[in-house]
Structure 1
Amino acid sequence: MDLPGQDEGSQPLVDRLISVSAAFEGSEEIAQARDLARSFLADVQAVHGLPVSGRAVGVVQLVVSELVTNARKYAPGPCLLTLEVSEGAVEVTVWDSEPRLPLAQGADPDRVGQHGLEIVMAVCQSFEMHREPVGKRIKAAIVLADDPLGDVGGGQVL
Structure 2
Amino acid sequence: MATAAFEGGEDIAEARRLARSFLTDVRNAYGVPVSDRAMGMVQLVVSELVTNARKYAPGPSLLTLEIHEGAVEVTVWDSEPRLPVAQAADPGRVGQHGLEIVMAVCRSFGMHREPVGKRVVAAVALADDPLGDEKC
* TM-score computed with the length of structure 2 as normaliser: 0.93
Stretches of structure 1 that go unaligned for 5 or more consecutive residues are: 1-18, 150-158
Residue 12 of structure 1 corresponds to none
Q: 1: CA distance between counterparts of 2:51 and 2:83?
A: 15
Of 14, 24, 28, 2:6 maps to 24
Of 58, 74, 95, 2:40 maps to 58
Task: Provide the aligned length of Structure 1 versus Structure 2.
Answer: 131
The answer to whether the Cα contact below 8 Å between 1:25 and 1:78 also exists between their aligned partners in 2 is yes
Of 70, 82, 85, 2:64 maps to 82
Which secondary structure state, in structure 2, belongs to the residue aligned with residue 130 of structure 1? strand
Aligned CA distance change for structure 1 residues 118 and 69 (closer, same or farther; 3 Å): same
Stretches of structure 2 that go unaligned for 5 or more consecutive residues are: 132-136
Identity %: 79
Structure 1, 140-149 or 57-66: larger mean CA deviation: 140-149
Residue 88 of structure 2 corresponds to 106
CA RMSD across the alignment:
1.1
Q: Which of 1 and 2 has greater Rg?
A: 1
**5 Å matches for 1:1-158?**
19-146=1-128, 148=130
Residue 147 of structure 1 deviates from its aligned partner by 5.1
Which secondary structure state, in structure 1, belongs to the residue aligned with residue 82 of structure 2? coil
Q: 2: CA distance between counterparts of 1:46 and 1:77?
A: 35
The answer to whether the Cα contact below 8 Å between 1:96 and 1:137 also exists between their aligned partners in 2 is yes
Q: 2: CA distance between counterparts of 1:145 and 1:90?
A: 10
Which secondary structure state, in structure 2, belongs to the residue aligned with residue 28 of structure 1? coil
The code of the aligned residue for 2:22 comes to F
